[in-house]
Structure 1
Amino acid sequence: MTTAPNVSAIYAVAWPLTLKALMLHGIVVIDAYLISALGEEALAAMGLAGALVGLLLGILFAFSNATQIRIAQSFGATGQVRLKTAFYCGLVINLGSVLIGVGLVALFGRAVIESAAQTDWIAAQAMSYLQVFLIVVFAEAIGQCLGSHFNGCGNPRVTFYSYLIAMPINIGASIILIYGLYGAPELGVAGAAYGSAIASLTRVMFMGVKFFRENRLFLDVKGWLRDSFAMAFKRHLLFSLPIAGTFLSMTIGTQVCVLIYARMSINDFAAITLIMPWVQVAGTFGMSWAQATGILVAQLLGAGADEATLDTFLSRAWRAAFVAAAVVSGMYLVLCLLSPWIYAGLEVETRAALWMFLPTLLLLPFPKGSNAICGQTLRAAGDTLRVMNIFVASQWLFKVPMTLLLVLVWDVPVAWVFSLFLMEEIVKLPMFHRRLWRGDWKRANVDDV
Structure 2
Amino acid sequence: MTVIAAPSATPSNVAIFRMAWPLGLKAMMLHGIVVIDAWLVSALGEPALAAMGLAASIAGLILGTLMAFSNAAQVRIAQAYGSGDPVSLKTGLYVGILINVASAALGIGLVALFGDDIIRAFAHTPWIADQAISYLQVFLLVVVFEAFGQVLGSHFNGCGKTLMPAKSYLLAIPINVVTSYVLIHGHWGLPELGVSGAAVGSAIAAMTRMLFLGAGLWRMNRAYLGVEGWRNGTLRASIHRHLVFALPIAGTFISMTIVNNICMLIYAKMSVNDFAAMTLIQPWVLVAGNFSTAWGMATGIAVAQLLGSNVPGDDLVVFLKRAWRGAFVAAIVVSLCFLGLSLSVQGIYGQLEAQTRAALWSFLPFLLVLPFPRGSNLMCGHTLRASGDTVYPMKVHVCSQWLVRLPLTAAFILWLDLSVTWVFALVLFEEFVKLPFFHSRILKGEWKKGLKEDD
Instruction: Establish whether TM, by shorter chain, passes 0.5.
Output: yes
Seen in structure 2, the aligned counterparts of structure 1 residues 96 and 348 have a Cα distance that, compared at 3 Å, is closer
Name the SS of the counterpart of 1:448 in structure 2: coil
Distance 1:28 1:418 in 2: 19
Seen in structure 2, the aligned counterparts of structure 1 residues 195 and 273 have a Cα distance that, compared at 3 Å, is closer
After superposition, the C-alpha distances for 1:168-205 in whole angstroms (9 at most, x for unaligned) are: 11222333444454454554444333322222211111
Seen in structure 2, the aligned counterparts of structure 1 residues 156 and 103 have a Cα distance that, compared at 3 Å, is same
Partner of 1:243: 249
AA of the residue aligned to 2:371: P
Does residue 327 of structure 1 match 2:327?
no
Name the SS of the counterpart of 2:8 in structure 1: coil
**5+ residue gaps in structure 1?**
none
Contact map agreement 1:302 1:446 (CA 8 A) in 2: no
Partner of 1:145: 151
Q: State the 1:239 CA deviation.
A: 1.7
Distance 2:274 2:136 in 1: 32
Stretch moving more, 318-327 or 418-427: 418-427
Percent identical:
58
Partner of 2:204: 198
Does residue 234 of structure 1 match 2:240?
yes
1:308-319 matches, cutoff 5 A = 308-319=314-325
Contact map agreement 1:132 1:193 (CA 8 A) in 2: yes
Q: State the 1:82 CA deviation.
A: 0.4
Does residue 96 of structure 1 match 2:102?
yes
Q: State the 1:149 CA deviation.
A: 0.4
Partner of 2:138: 132
Does residue 367 of structure 1 match 2:373?
yes
AA of the residue aligned to 2:70: S
AA of the residue aligned to 2:170: L
Contact map agreement 2:116 2:133 (CA 8 A) in 1: yes
Q: State the 1:373 CA deviation.
A: 0.3
Distance 2:263 2:429 in 1: 15
AA of the residue aligned to 2:21: W
AA of the residue aligned to 2:444: R
Partner of 2:214: 208
Contact map agreement 1:162 1:203 (CA 8 A) in 2: yes
Seen in structure 2, the aligned counterparts of structure 1 residues 168 and 334 have a Cα distance that, compared at 3 Å, is closer
Distance 2:277 2:192 in 1: 36
Partner of 1:431: 437
Partner of 1:167: 173
Distance 1:68 1:38 in 2: 39
User: Which one of the candidate residues 379, 384, 400 is aligned to 1:378?
Assistant: 384
1:261-276 matches, cutoff 5 A = 275-276=281-282
AA of the residue aligned to 1:25: H
Partner of 2:3: none
Stretch moving more, 25-34 or 76-85: 25-34
Q: State the 1:217 CA deviation.
A: 1.5
Q: State the 1:87 CA deviation.
A: 0.5
Q: State the 1:265 CA deviation.
A: 8.4
1:251-330 matches, cutoff 5 A = 251-257=257-263, 275-330=281-336
Contact map agreement 1:4 1:310 (CA 8 A) in 2: yes
AA of the residue aligned to 2:303: V
Partner of 2:52: 46
Seen in structure 2, the aligned counterparts of structure 1 residues 349 and 118 have a Cα distance that, compared at 3 Å, is closer
Distance 1:329 1:27 in 2: 21
Stretch moving more, 13-22 or 80-89: 13-22
Distance 1:123 1:287 in 2: 34
User: Which one of the candidate residues 71, 95, 112 is aligned to 1:65?
Assistant: 71
Distance 2:279 2:44 in 1: 23
Distance 1:428 1:257 in 2: 19
AA of the residue aligned to 1:75: Y
Contact map agreement 1:374 1:433 (CA 8 A) in 2: yes
**5+ residue gaps in structure 2?**
1-6
- The Cα RMSD (Å) is 3.1
Seen in structure 2, the aligned counterparts of structure 1 residues 332 and 186 have a Cα distance that, compared at 3 Å, is closer
Seen in structure 2, the aligned counterparts of structure 1 residues 226 and 402 have a Cα distance that, compared at 3 Å, is same
After superposition, the C-alpha distances for 1:73-117 in whole angstroms (9 at most, x for unaligned) are: 111111100000011110000000011111112222333344445
Distance 2:359 2:111 in 1: 39
Name the SS of the counterpart of 2:232 in structure 1: helix
After superposition, the C-alpha distances for 1:239-282 in whole angstroms (9 at most, x for unaligned) are: 22222222232233334555666777898777666654433322
AA of the residue aligned to 1:252: I
Q: State the 1:420 CA deviation.
A: 3.5
Stretch moving more, 44-53 or 63-72: 44-53
Distance 2:389 2:15 in 1: 24
Partner of 2:395: 389
Does residue 223 of structure 1 match 2:229?
yes
Distance 2:307 2:157 in 1: 16
Contact map agreement 1:18 1:284 (CA 8 A) in 2: yes
Partner of 1:18: 24
User: Which one of the candidate residues 12, 26, 40 is aligned to 1:6?
Assistant: 12
Distance 2:248 2:416 in 1: 35
Seen in structure 2, the aligned counterparts of structure 1 residues 151 and 263 have a Cα distance that, compared at 3 Å, is same
Q: State the 1:343 CA deviation.
A: 6.2
Contact map agreement 1:2 1:309 (CA 8 A) in 2: no
Contact map agreement 2:38 2:280 (CA 8 A) in 1: no
Count of equivalent residues: 449
Distance 2:421 2:128 in 1: 35
Contact map agreement 1:63 1:243 (CA 8 A) in 2: yes
User: Which one of the candidate residues 163, 174, 182 is aligned to 1:157?
Assistant: 163
Distance 2:145 2:250 in 1: 19
Q: State the 1:340 CA deviation.
A: 6.3
1:175-190 matches, cutoff 5 A = 175-190=181-196
AA of the residue aligned to 1:108: F
Distance 2:355 2:40 in 1: 30
AA of the residue aligned to 2:73: T
